[in-house]
Structure 1
Amino acid sequence: MQDEANGTKGAGDAAPLHILEAPACHLGEGPTYDPASDTAWWFDILGKRLFEKPSASPEVRVHDLPLMASQLCTVDDRTQLLATEKGLHVRDVASGRLTPHTALEADESDTRSNDGRVHPSGALWIGTMGRKAEMGRGSIYWFRGGELRRLYASVSIPNAICFSPDGTVGYFADTARGDIHRVPLDPETGLPSGEPAVFVPAGAFGGGPDGAVTDAEGNVWNARWGAGRIEVFSPDGRHLRSLAVPARQPSCPAFIGRHLDQLLVTTAYEGMDDAERAADPHAGRTLIVQAGAKGVAEPRVRLAL
């Protein structure tokens, strides 16, 4: 790992961080943490790679995938569920073998999966988008126990999906539009129980709202694509903190580690030319930040009722 000073790319608080010794991601995304195995996982969507980092080892394992994938959910100690460009697939942890499980926009060859998270009820919210980020081509879906429902349509780049620790509130964004929304949820199912309202307005903090995660206090930690920062908001929408990271395009944070007190942040070099990459040497690298907060464990997804 490489130790780095924080704050080189965007104005914000400095926090100790290090850069993992892992290949740079074209489009890093989907970080999550499995407490049972003490392991962090994340993707390079466009590079068709899955990364595995046990806390006890400095080594990062790289698994090549036969298709683009963006979200990993733990089913049990032996099984995972992956959201991919060709639907939801079950992954055997030991062998890496993928088995199709549930079709997701199977008739839409020009869309792929993007941001998602598991609700405390075991329901997965997963977004889709156009492969070229076409306006309004995507949706946000709810999945649990084999049932799939579309929640929101005409989404361009679904992001910032996360939930309050008690499961009564959900958050999501369309990066292309810029607002982060807040919606009341049924904590037993993870389904909306009311209409979304603006939580953070577009244009208020620079960059575009990308992936997000909540901490144990219910605060929302949102990666700002293009701004080199993680912005932190209280459950009532007050801005609490700006945390600078040394890459211009952070894509998603996740709390990891036995105490859930480290923040793994994926980044990307998508869309950068050679000059831009030279000016942003940590673009695509995966960061671990000592953020001074504690997260909550990602729930396991429910494949069966």
Structure 2
Amino acid sequence: MMDNGVSVFSDHICQLGEGPSYDPGSDALFWFDIVNGRLLEKGVGSGALKVHELGLMASALAIIDDARQLIATETGLHVRDVATGRLTLHTAIEADNPLTRSNDSRVHPCGAFWVGTMGKDEGKGAGAIYWFFKGELRRLFSDITVSNSICFSEDGKIAYYTDTSTGLLMRVACDASTGLPIGEPKVFVDHRKSMGYVDGSVVDRDGVLWNAVWGGKAVKAYAPDGALLREIPMPVTQPSCPAFVGAKADRLAVTSAWKGKDDKQRKLDPQAGMTFLLDIPVNGRFEPRVLIA
């Protein structure tokens, strides 16, 4: 373990590790190697790594119930049978557009799922952010280049998101009962003059937002007013997304990636693509279950 409480959770190298999601029922962390179409699973307390080949790009997982998960993929939302791994398309999202895929996504406290998309080549404005709730799908924001940082306050009254290409982390008021935005988004953090890019985020019980800084070798914690509270150095250049883990949700798991690096750059960043645990004081919380009907 490093002096700052960071240790390797899994040394499996992902080209684009993303979308960590913790299941408190099984004490397992799930995460994705997006571009290689893999879902990874490993117990936080103990257990061997399991690699599930999905056959398509996928980026986020939500729990429906003990037997089913909802997976955000390049063609839409699929129900995954936990016992067999079988995927069944539930709701198509941009399935007719082979140039886009899913990206950062998270469940609102009411059970709605915000799902981000983006161009597979990171084409400008090719993506969007959608709202899915009990079978209904709506597009919330268009002209998104890289959808990221989707997360919510515990009471469901605030949503956060970013288009990573802008350097601006946004905040918008939400209807707590539906997860739909109300009012206009406002800038929460202007990261344009800082090193790296705003990637995935989660919000703890105190309203602190924990953000993985892609290209910045750090995880940053922001107070509810946007003030920077602390910065935890990471052993990789491209940390991608955090998740609360453990029986008390009091630790952070953080994925990472080597995508975009040549051989020389990878030698300088040998742990790129591994997944890490941060043993730091965190007042975390478990993700709510998604309501599909």
Q: Which runs of 4+ in 1 moved over 6 A?
A: none
Contact 2:10 2:276 in 1 (8 A): no
Please name the residue that 1:47 is paired with: 36
Please name the residue that 1:109 is paired with: 98
Q: Does 1:246 align with 2:250?
A: no
In the alignment, the residues of structure 1 paired with residue 175 and residue 77 of structure 2 have an alpha-carbon distance, to the nearest angstrom, of 24
Contact 1:123 1:190 in 2 (8 A): yes
Contact 1:117 1:125 in 2 (8 A): yes
Please name the residue that 2:194 is paired with: 205
Paired AA for residue 265 in structure 1: V
> What SS does the corresponding residue of 1:176 show, helix, strand or coil?
helix
Deviation, structure 1 residue 202:
3.3
Deviation, structure 1 residue 22:
3.9
**Map of 1:206-225 to 2, 5 A cutoff?**
206-225=195-214
Please name the residue that 1:188 is paired with: 177
Q: Deviations over 1:253-299 (max 9, x none)?
A: 00101011111000000000000000001100000111211211100
Paired AA for residue 199 in structure 1: F
Contact 1:29 1:44 in 2 (8 A): yes
In the alignment, the residues of structure 2 paired with residue 279 and residue 75 of structure 1 have an alpha-carbon distance, to the nearest angstrom, of 41
Please name the residue that 1:9 is paired with: none
Q: Does 1:72 align with 2:61?
A: yes
In the alignment, the residues of structure 2 paired with residue 215 and residue 206 of structure 1 have an alpha-carbon distance, to the nearest angstrom, of 24
Deviation, structure 1 residue 86:
1.2
Please name the residue that 1:237 is paired with: 226
Please name the residue that 1:226 is paired with: 215
Please name the residue that 1:286 is paired with: 275
In the alignment, the residues of structure 2 paired with residue 111 and residue 138 of structure 1 have an alpha-carbon distance, to the nearest angstrom, of 7
In the alignment, the residues of structure 2 paired with residue 202 and residue 30 of structure 1 have an alpha-carbon distance, to the nearest angstrom, of 22
Contact 1:113 1:126 in 2 (8 A): yes
Paired AA for residue 35 in structure 1: P
Q: Deviations over 1:198-227 (max 9, x none)?
A: 000132432000000011101000111001
Q: Does 1:138 align with 2:127?
A: yes
Contact 1:219 1:235 in 2 (8 A): yes
Please name the residue that 1:167 is paired with: 156
User: What 5-or-longer segments of structure 1 have no aligned partner?
Assistant: 6-13
> What SS does the corresponding residue of 2:63 show, helix, strand or coil?
strand
Paired AA for residue 218 in structure 1: G
Please name the residue that 1:96 is paired with: 85
Paired AA for residue 249 in structure 2: L
> What SS does the corresponding residue of 2:283 show, helix, strand or coil?
coil
Q: Does 1:262 align with 2:251?
A: yes
Please name the residue that 2:75 is paired with: 86
In the alignment, the residues of structure 1 paired with residue 49 and residue 151 of structure 2 have an alpha-carbon distance, to the nearest angstrom, of 26
Q: Deviations over 1:112-150 (max 9, x none)?
A: 000010000000001000010000000000001110000
Equivalent pairs: percent with the same residue?
Answer: 51
> What SS does the corresponding residue of 2:267 show, helix, strand or coil?
helix
Candidates 266, 277, 286, aligned match of 2:266: 277
In the alignment, the residues of structure 1 paired with residue 43 and residue 268 of structure 2 have an alpha-carbon distance, to the nearest angstrom, of 31
> What SS does the corresponding residue of 2:166 show, helix, strand or coil?
coil
TM-score (normalised: structure 2)? 0.98
Q: Deviations over 1:136-167 (max 9, x none)?
A: 00000000111000000000000010000110
Q: Does 1:152 align with 2:141?
A: yes
Paired AA for residue 160 in structure 2: Y
Contact 1:22 1:60 in 2 (8 A): no
Paired AA for residue 126 in structure 1: V
Please name the residue that 1:30 is paired with: 19
Contact 2:36 2:57 in 1 (8 A): yes
TM-score (normalised: structure 1)? 0.94
In the alignment, the residues of structure 2 paired with residue 145 and residue 214 of structure 1 have an alpha-carbon distance, to the nearest angstrom, of 24
Please name the residue that 1:8 is paired with: none
In the alignment, the residues of structure 2 paired with residue 56 and residue 160 of structure 1 have an alpha-carbon distance, to the nearest angstrom, of 27
Paired AA for residue 234 in structure 1: A
Deviation, structure 1 residue 56:
3.2
